[in-house]
């Protein structure tokens, strides 16, 4: 069994092992298994061991902070001062970030150890982690399958126990979907809960950072460190962060859970539906009240999401121009050549597609039909949720319509790839918190269940997931090859 | 919505992206199918709905007018492709 | 063919006088070594985010209140997308819909006694771009991003002006206003106050606007007038020769005194404006506006009216004295030191002092003669210590840095002779020496009196009180 974050904390506190020892263990596991999985872009051995040594010194002096000595991995779009931060893009292949993201600062403050930077879909654009200039990531449960995306490297690393926890970002499902496909737990908090400063932007009004771990208990610990108001992010929520761990164990007795009928409709694989039903029964047994609800605009969320995300990314990615950082083409003949070739060579096909659609959607004559329309639908989608939360405390459904698919199966059809996000993206449009936890297997591949909370109710999500995990052990499963 | 090759060329230019001639047709196909997906938005009449730009409908926080940053030029320029005498350099711009 | 009429609107970029940038904590100080005042946010580093400077909002509202403008309770920042090396993010954070300042107006006096109302369409906040340096390297352009992120208030006028002179009067008025409000230092050389002019021509009586050209790169009021006049001529000539004006951006070349088309901006722009998702709508309450209004300094129009009503100055002098806050402050400081000398001080400031400053190309704040020094000089005329003529000499000496009026008067022995005994003996000597002229006067040739006054003043080295000299001379010559 793999130790989780909480267990490592306890072990370090009790002196069962040192941070250096456990860090070395993980570095050895990464060295052994990463070639098969390709979930790390950079392994930062030296930094990790240095941080571990300092952690051990702090522990010895009784000066441990919240995560002192706990080794973690970070998605390669969080800027890390002095360490390559690539977004899995050729355009940033040579980019050594000159500063730390707020999330990274928070982990440093709390004493965590950085094992390395994880692979991802380029600029977080993708649902399979195949869009990486460093190659696809394999799913530890079946290395012929995708781990999901865009935070596929982080999810695969935790699933294969190459790290007890990892950070991810979620713009349309990029934490929840890979968590589901890799059989681990992941939470996307409310928009504004975790600072976006230093998190390289994809869709600014949708992006939100969050953790992956085996359990809700571990996610609570990591989210605690990641969360909090940041004056450097104008969209950061200026409100107190509750004690996530402290609220675990409150149980689900009397909790009103809504099942959106749209999430259990035609598109859902019947075997997945059956697994989810079983998990719902477990929650019923624990005292939760389950009822049907409706989110009528669910099927609008995909087109709405893609217009907004692509419009925002088309502008966000303009700064990658070969002038101040990143890839520059050889011997540009003039300015236009510098821009076009640097960007043309630097960005992969999916990134280019999204930039082009976004550019088109914002261009003269199309703004109202696309961007403005999408923002109107965005409000309708948000209102669906608000109405639902008048009668329920929590919404529950599948995280994905199918389990992990084969690498290459959808890579020639961008639209079928986008449809993987049907259950996850409406939360980003609404800004609501959501999490995925493992609830079983279909044909040897994990199934994720999604919990959706009201604004800033991460506590409700974590508590519900924790209650379920007290009576199940799906989250403790490790693929045989990585035990 | 079906785009023409000329549309794709124009968009690529506006976005300053070099696209190989050989790939243009694939982009025409892919972008057109994405736009078909996007056009599903038109199934709903949303006239009169206030657009939602930020999920929390929050308002802007303001910072005090204080200089908090120090000179980090050397650090920032260490990762730049072409700098000289403190300037970033690009091919000559003719105005 | 009917007469031509030119139609002019101005876009003025006033750099707001904040310590730090609009969206970052980097300094806005002018003149630092390249890229030393460009922080991660200004450089558009991956992952950075903008946070709005409170002072920028306050300053914009102050301007809005001063031009009696509509101020919405919500103001939104938008991204204006285009690629240019001095624009680090590939977009400029500006405002499109919902600018912070809506419709307002100001009054200008293009000439003595003339008053016109000029409409202001809007004023919006935006970040400045960096600078492209074309002459530093042979085949390369150098980019300095120190200026990137400096706060600008872009003030857009209605096309209400009909001549270059009116356009200049409007620009000067805005220049004066932003300095009164202490929101912009107005330094045109350093680019803190920049004017772009939209110029078109049409036949008088037509309602439809002609095709306009946008003139850029104008860094003084003199060049603004010249550039507009050149452009008006160019457009009229073009149309009269059967050509057509094309909508374009034209650069003013002050060395050749002409405008020319900017070929590099030929391509039609599609800026793809959309609300910046990194920034939220700015909420402005009535209370915010009221407190800013309450803290406004006396504005030029109010001050001018007070100078006319309470100090009895002419409309023209009041206009000139209030044209800049510095001049008005100079006048008011001097007046406090020499109460009651309203007209005298106004005349000295607008006459000799303005002339001297102009000649030396100095700002009134840099004057060697302080308001207190000028007040002392005027007081010495009033109390008959010196004559107006001697005062010019004292003024010149003060200008040259010889010290205060009293010290100069003492050192040079310029105190006026008012002792009638002394004056009488001077006059007696002059009369005795010029019997011929005495005869002429007595024969009725009144203008010979001037000759005698001149002689007496010369003998006294200008120090005799001219009034007394006149009176005593008349008496003595008649007898």
CATH number at residue A84: 3.90.1300.10
Determine contact: B44 vs chain A, CB below 8 A.
yes
Collect all residues with Cβ–Cβ distance below 8 Å to C412 and sequence separation of at least 6.
Answer: C393, C397
Burial class (CB in 10 A: 0-12, 13-18, 19+), A229: middle
How far apart (Å, rounded) are the C-alpha atoms in residues C398 and C394? 6
Q: Are strands C131-133 and B62-63 parallel, antiparallel or unpaired?
A: unpaired
Counting beta carbons within 10 angstroms of the beta carbon of residue A242, is it exposed (0 to 12), middle (13 to 18) or buried (19 or more)?
A: middle
Residue burial C338-362, b: 16+ Cβ < 10 Å; e: rest: beebbebbbebbbebbeebbeeeee
Q: What whole-number distance in Å separates Cα of residue C282 and Cα of residue B62?
A: 9
Q: Chains near C, with 3+ CB pairs < 8 A?
A: A, B
Shortest CB distance from A234 goes to which of C79, C89, C279?
Answer: C279
The stretch A242-256 carries a mean pLDDT of: 95
Q: Give the span between the Cα atoms of A78 and C365, in whole angstroms.
A: 52
Question: What is the reported pLDDT for A362?
Answer: 96
Predicted confidence (pLDDT) per residue in A292-307, tens digit: 999 999 999 999 999 9
**DSSP secondary structure string, A272-336?**
HHHHHHHHHHHHHHTT-EEEEE--TTGGGHHHHHHHHHHHHHHHHGGG-SSSSSS---SS-SSHH
User: Does the beta carbon of A332 lie under 8 angstroms from any beta carbon of chain B?
Assistant: yes
Distance CA A211, CA A204 (A): 19
Most C CBs within 10 A among B13, B59, B64, B87, hence the mutation to make, goes to B87
Q: CA gyration radius for chain A?
A: 21
pLDDT of residue A238: 94
For A49, other C-beta atoms within 10 Å of its C-beta total 16
- The CA distance from C20 to A278, in Å, is 59
- So what's the pLDDT on residue C443? 85
pLDDT at A416: 86
Residues in chain C closer than 8 A to A324 (CB atoms): 43-45, 88
Place of tokens 């980097």: C26
Interface confidence: ipTM more than 0.95: yes
Q: How far is C90 from chain B (nearest CA, A)?
A: 10
Give the pLDDT score at B13.
96
Instruction: For residue A417, give Cα distances in angstroms to A126, A129, A405, A434, C311.
Output: 8, 11, 10, 21, 79
What does the pLDDT read at residue C467? Answer: 83
CB A302 within 8 A of CB A418: yes
Asked if A455's CB is within 8 angstroms of B11's CB, the reply is no
Length of chain A, in residues: 483
Q: Where in chain C is the domain with CATH 1.10.10.410?
A: 420-478
The set of residues, in sequence order, having a beta carbon less than 8 Å from that of A97 and lying 6+ positions away, is A79, A80, A81, A82, A83, A84, A85, A198, C45, C46, C47
Contact assessment for residue A207 and residue C24, using Cβ atoms and an 8 Å cutoff? no
Helices C466-478, C448-459: inter-axial angle, 10-degree rounding: 130
From the list A233, A324, A362, the residue facing C88 with the nearest CB is A324
Chain A residue at shortest CA distance from C275: A312
Residue A219 near residue A435 (C-beta atoms within 8 A):
yes
Give the span between the Cα atoms of B38 and B22, in whole angstroms. 26
Q: Which of A300, A340, A379 sits opposite B52 (nearest CB)?
A: A379
Residue C310 predicted with pLDDT over 80: yes
List alpha helices for A347-430, DSSP H: 349-362, 373-388, 414-418, 425-430
What would the pLDDT profile of A188-246 be if each residue is shown by its tens digit?
999 999 999 999 999 999 999 999 999 999 999 999 999 999 999 999 999 999 999 99
Instruction: For residue C223, give both structure tokens.
Output: 């060049």
The answer, for A367 touching chain B at a CB cutoff of 8 Å, is no
Question: How far apart are the C-alpha atoms of A143 and A407, rounded to whole Å?
Answer: 9
> CA-to-CA distance for C262 and A30, rounded, in angstroms?
57
Pick the residue from chain C with its C-alpha nearest to A123.
Answer: C46
C-beta of residue C42 within 8 angstroms of C-beta of residue C145: yes
Supply the pLDDT for residue C263.
Answer: 59
Under 8 Å between Cβ of A359 and A314: yes
Query: CB–CB of A98 and C45 under 8 A?
Result: yes
Domain count, chain A: 1
C311: pLDDT strictly greater than 60: yes
C-alpha–C-alpha distance, residues A195 and B60, integer Å: 15
Position B82 confidence tier, pLDDT thresholds 50, 70, 90 = very high
Whole-number average pLDDT of chain A: 97
Q: What pLDDT was estimated at residue A412?
A: 85
Q: In the block, which residue shows the tokens 């994405």?
A: B34
Q: For chain A, how many helices (H) and strands (E)? A: 15, 11
Q: Name the residue among C229, C272, C231, C284 with its Cα closest to residue C72.
A: C284
Q: At C417, is the pLDDT very low, low, confident or very high (cuts 50, 70, 90)?
A: confident
CATH of domain C420-478: 1.10.10.410
pLDDT tens string C152-207: 999 999 999 999 999 999 999 999 999 999 999 999 989 999 999 999 999 998 98
Give me the total of CB pairs closer than 8 Å, taking one residue from chain A and one from chain C. Answer: 98
CB A198 within 8 A of CB A104: yes
C266-297 as b/e: b if 16+ CB within 10 A = eeeeebbbbbbbbbbbbebeeeebeebeeeee
Give mean pLDDT, residues A47-72. 97
Q: What is the pLDDT of residues C209-259, one digit of tens each?
A: 999 999 987 889 999 999 999 999 999 999 999 999 998 889 898 888 888
Q: Which value, to the nearest 10 degrees, does the dihedral of the CA atoms of residues C457, C462, C463, C469 take?
A: 30
Looking at the predicted structure, is the pLDDT value of residue C479 above 90? no
**For C64-74, how does the pLDDT look when each residue is reduced to its tens digit (9 = 90+)?**
999 999 999 99
Return the CA Rg of chain C: 29
Confidence of residue C1 (pLDDT cuts 50, 70, 90): low
Nearest to C312 by CA among C286, C275, C346: C346
Tell me the per-residue pLDDT of A384-431, one tens digit each, with 9 for 90 and over. Answer: 999 999 999 999 999 999 999 999 999 888 888 888 899 999 999 999
Two tokens, residue C272: 């793809």
**What pLDDT was estimated at residue A380?**
97
pLDDT bin (cut points 50, 70, 90) of residue A179 is: very high
Interstrand relation of C91-94 and C151-157 (parallel, antiparallel or unpaired): unpaired
Separation of alpha carbons A327 and A315, rounded Å: 18
Does C416 score more than 90 pLDDT? no
Taking an 8 Å cut-off on Cβ atoms, the answer to whether A325 and B79 are in contact is yes
Q: Which residues of B20-42 are buried (b: 16+ CB within 10 A; e: fewer)?
A: eeeeeeebbebbbbbbebbeebe
Task: Please tell me the predicted confidence (pLDDT) of residue A306.
Answer: 94
Average pLDDT over residues A159-173: 98
Residues C354-403 have pLDDT tens digits of 999 999 999 898 999 999 999 999 999 998 888 888 899 999 999 999 99
Burial of A396 (0-12, 13-18, 19+ CB in 10 A): buried
Q: What is the pLDDT of residue B27?
A: 96
pLDDT computed for residue A427 by the predictor: 97
The reply to whether residue A98 touches residue B46, judged by beta carbons under 8 angstroms, is: no
Residues B69, C24: C-beta atoms closer than 8 Å: yes
Spell out a b/e string for C221-238, using b for 16 or more CB atoms within 10 Å of the CB, else e.
Answer: bebbbbbbbbbbebbeee
Q: How far is B14 from chain C (nearest CA, A)?
A: 8
C43 and A200 in contact by Cβ < 8 A?
no
Q: From CA A227, how far away is CA A219, in angstroms rounded?
A: 12
pLDDT at C268: 62
Q: Confirm if A165 and A218 have CB atoms less than 8 A apart.
A: yes
The predicted structure's pLDDT at residue C450: 87
Q: pLDDT band at C414, cuts 50/70/90?
A: confident
The answer to whether the peptide bond before residue A300 is cis (omega within 30 degrees of 0) is no
User: A23: domain range?
Assistant: 5-257+391-482
Cα–Cα distances (Å) from C334 to A20, A378, C359, in that order, read: 76, 64, 22
Band (pLDDT 50/70/90 cuts) for residue C423 is: confident
Question: Which residues share a beta bridge with C275?
Answer: C78
Q: What is the DSSP letter of B41?
A: G
Does A366 reside within a domain?
Answer: no
Chain A partners within 8 Å of C45 (Cβ): 79, 97-99, 324-325
pLDDT band of C266, cuts 50, 70, 90: very low
Q: Please give the C-alpha separations between residue C33 and each of B82, C38, C39, in angstroms, as whole numbers.
A: 17, 10, 13
Query: How many whole angstroms separate alpha carbon A247 and alpha carbon A469?
Result: 15
Q: Which DSSP symbol is given to C10?
A: E
Mean pLDDT of A309-319: 98
Q: Which residues contact A321 (CB under 8 A, 6 or more apart)?
A: A338, A339, A342, A343, B16, C83, C85, C90
Q: What's residue A394's pLDDT?
A: 98
A346 touches A326 (CB < 8 A): yes
**Residues C418, C424, C429, C435, CA torsion sign:** positive
- In angstroms, the separation between the Cα of residue C44 and the nearest Cα of chain A is 6
- Taking CA atoms, B58 is separated from A234, A237, A309, C99, in Å, by 10, 9, 19, 18
**Per-residue model confidence as pLDDT tens digits over A434-443:** 999 999 999 9
Given C52, C85, C270, which is nearest A234 (Cβ)? C52
- The Cα A458–Cα A210 span in angstroms is 11
Nearest to C100 by CA among C71, C120, C129: C71
């Amino acid at each position: 069994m793999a130790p989780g974050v909480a267990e490592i904390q306890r072990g370090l506190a009790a002196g069962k092992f040192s941070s250096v020892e456990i860090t070395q263990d993980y570095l050895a596991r990464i060295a052994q298994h990463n070639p098969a999985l390709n979930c790390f872009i950079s392994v930062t051995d030296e930094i990790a061991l240095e941080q571990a040594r300092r952690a051990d010194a702090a522990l010895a002096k009784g000066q441990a902070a919240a995560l002192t000595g706990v080794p973690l991995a970070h998605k390669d779009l969080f800027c890390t001062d002095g360490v390559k931060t690539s977004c899995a893009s050729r355009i940033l292949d040579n980019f050594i970030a000159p500063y730390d993201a707020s999330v990274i600062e928070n982990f440093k403050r709390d004493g965590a150890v950085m094992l390395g930077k994880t692979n991802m879909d380029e600029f977080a654009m993708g649902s399979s982690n195949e869009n990486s200039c460093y190659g696809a990531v394999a799913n530890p449960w079946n290395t012929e399958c995708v781990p999901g995306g865009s935070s596929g490297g982080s999810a695969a690393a935790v699933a294969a126990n190459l790290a007890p926890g990892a950070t991810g970002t979620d713009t349309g499902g990029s934490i929840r979907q890979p968590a589901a496909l890799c059989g681990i737990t992941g939470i996307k908090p409310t928009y504004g809960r975790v600072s976006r400063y230093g998190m390289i932007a994809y869709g600014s009004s949708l992006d939100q950072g969050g953790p992956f771990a085996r359990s809700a208990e571990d996610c609570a610990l990591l989210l605690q460190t990641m969360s909090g108001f940041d004056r450097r992010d104008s969209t950061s929520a200026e409100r107190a962060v509750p004690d996530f761990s402290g609220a675990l164990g409150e149980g689900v007795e009397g909790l009103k859970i809504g099942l959106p009928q749209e999430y259990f409709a035609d598109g859902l694989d019947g075997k997945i539906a059956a697994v989810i039903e079983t998990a719902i029964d477990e929650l019923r047994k624990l005292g939760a009240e389950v009822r049907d609800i409706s989110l009528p605009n669910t099927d609008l969320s995909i087109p709405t999401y893609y217009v907004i995300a692509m419009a925002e990314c088309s502008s966000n990615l303009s700064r990658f121009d070969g002038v101040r950082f990143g890839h520059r083409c050889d011997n540009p003949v003039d300015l236009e050549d510098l821009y076009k070739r640097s960007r043309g060579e630097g960005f992969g096909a999916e990134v280019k597609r999204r930039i082009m659609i976004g550019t088109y959607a914002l261009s003269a004559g199309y703004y109202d039909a696309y961007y403005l329309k999408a923002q109107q639908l965005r409000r309708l989608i948000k209102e669906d949720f608000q109405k639902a939360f008048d009668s329920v405390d929590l919404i529950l459904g599948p995280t994905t319509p199918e389990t992990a698919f084969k690498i290459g199966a959808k890579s020639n059809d961008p639209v079928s790839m986008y449809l993987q996000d049907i259950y996850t993206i409406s939360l980003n449009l609404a800004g609501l918190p959501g999490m995925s936890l493992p609830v079983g297997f279909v044909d040897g591949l994990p199934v994720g269940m999604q919990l959706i909370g009201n604004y800033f109710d991460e506590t409700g999500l974590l508590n519900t997931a924790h209650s379920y995990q007290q009576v199940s052990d799906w989250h403790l499963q490790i693929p045989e090859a990585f035990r | 919505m079906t785009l023409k090759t000329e549309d794709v060329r124009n968009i690529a230019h506006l976005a300053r992206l070099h696209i190989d001639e050989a790939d243009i047709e694939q982009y025409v196909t892919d972008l057109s199918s994405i736009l078909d997906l996007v056009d599903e938005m038109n199934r709903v009449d949303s006239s009169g709905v206030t657009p939602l730009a930020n999920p929390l409908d929050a308002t802007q926080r303001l910072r005090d007018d204080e200089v908090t940053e120090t000179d980090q030029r050397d650090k920032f320029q260490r990762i730049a492709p072409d700098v000289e005498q403190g300037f970033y350099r690009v091919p000559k711009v003719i105005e | 063919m009917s007469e031509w009429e030119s139609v002019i609107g101005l876009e003025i970029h006033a750099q707001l006088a904040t310590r730090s940038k609009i969206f970052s904590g980097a300094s806005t100080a002018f003149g630092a070594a390249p890229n030393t005042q460009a922080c991660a946010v200004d450089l558009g580093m991956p992952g950075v985010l903008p946070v709005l400077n409170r002072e920028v909002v306050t300053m914009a509202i102050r301007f809005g209140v001063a031009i009696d403008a509509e101020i919405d309770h919500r103001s939104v920042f938008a991204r204006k997308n285009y690629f240019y090396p001095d624009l680090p993010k590939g977009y400029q954070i500006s405002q499109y819909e919902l600018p912070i300042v809506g419709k307002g107006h100001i009054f200008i006096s293009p000439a003595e006694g003339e008053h016109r109302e000029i409409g202001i369409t809007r004023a919006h906040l935006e970040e400045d771009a960096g600078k492209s340096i074309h002459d530093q390297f042979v085949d390369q352009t150098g980019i300095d991003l120190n200026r990137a992120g400096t706060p600008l208030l872009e003030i857009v006028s209605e096309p209400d002006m009909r001549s270059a002179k009116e356009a200049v009067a409007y620009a000067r008025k805005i220049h004066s206003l932003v300095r009164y409000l202490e929101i912009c230092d107005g330094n045109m050389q350093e680019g803190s106050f920049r004017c772009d002019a939209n110029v078109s021509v049409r036949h008088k009586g037509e309602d439809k606007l002609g095709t306009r050209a946008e003139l850029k790169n104008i860094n003084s009021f003199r060049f603004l007038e010249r550039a507009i006049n050149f452009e008006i001529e160019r457009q009229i000539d073009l149309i009269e020769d059967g050509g057509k004006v094309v909508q374009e951006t034209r650069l003013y070349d002050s060395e050749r005194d002409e405008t020319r088309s900017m070929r590099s901006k030929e391509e039609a722009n599609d800026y793809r404006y959309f609300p910046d998702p990194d920034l939220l709508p700015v909420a402005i309450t009535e209370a915010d506006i009221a407190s800013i209004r309450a803290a406004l300094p006396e504005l030029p129009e109010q001050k001018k009216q007070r100078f006319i009503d309470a100090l009895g100055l002419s409309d023209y002098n009041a206009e000139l004295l209030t044209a800049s806050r510095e001049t008005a402050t100079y006048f008011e400081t001097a007046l406090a030191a020499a109460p009651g000398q309203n007209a005298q001080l106004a005349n000295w400031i607008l006459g000799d002092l303005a002339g001297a400053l102009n000649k030396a190309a100095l700002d009134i704040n840099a004057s060697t003669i302080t308001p207190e020094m000028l007040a002392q000089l005027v007081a010495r005329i009033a109390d008959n210590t010196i004559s107006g003529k001697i005062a010019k000499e004292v003024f010149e000496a003060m200008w040259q840095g010889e010290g205060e009026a009293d010290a100069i008067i003492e050192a040079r022995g310029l105190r006026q002779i008012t002792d009638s005994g002394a004056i009488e003996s001077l006059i007696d000597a002059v009369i005795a020496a010029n019997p011929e002229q005495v005869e002429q006067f007595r024969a009725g040739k009144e203008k010979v009196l001037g000759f005698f006054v001149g002689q007496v003043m010369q003998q006294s080295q200008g120090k005799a009180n001219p009034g007394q000299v006149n009176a005593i001379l008349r008496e003595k010559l008649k007898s």
